[in-house]
Structure 1
């Protein structure tokens, strides 16, 4: 059960770190991103990571699924780039994996295993 929580926490914190690198320390452009990009990625990458972090802490699979669906479109886009930012695709998938494992763990607890 602890590995499930660790997966969700790692994915959300990893996504937050990637977002900070993307917006403030991008090694590919060496320039600050424009305000519209910052706001768009804040709401499509950073905010779902916050939801996933909260969902991991309280072990709520619904929040993990919300974070997955919310971040999926831009995560798929970044997953197709030849850069470190393709890891956003992996973090999004890990939200899904964590949500599924939370449901499995809950089911096993209810069965007394």
Structure 2
């Protein structure tokens, strides 16, 4: 799911750039569209928002389905929702991998 990878790129930008990585979506958008950093971040956030909106629309459309696959699809989508929430939780509260190293005295 693109929204997970792209959200990770928002969090990992500084670390990846400092490490010389050029595959972060923000860096790619910045370079390819000749944008400043702030605008590139805004563009990536808009891409993420678009994917989230579409995901929610599709999830909502499942609630009206009564066919034989509705239960299986609903279960899969519920799992995806848990994955998305878990990734957000991990980025916000669990990992410190993208924080700058502590200043040495």
Normalising by the residue count of structure 2, what TM-score does the alignment of the two structures yield? 0.38
Which of these two proteins has the greater Rg computed from alpha carbons? 2
Q: TM-score, normalised by structure 1?
A: 0.36
- Structure with the higher helix share, 1 or 2: 1
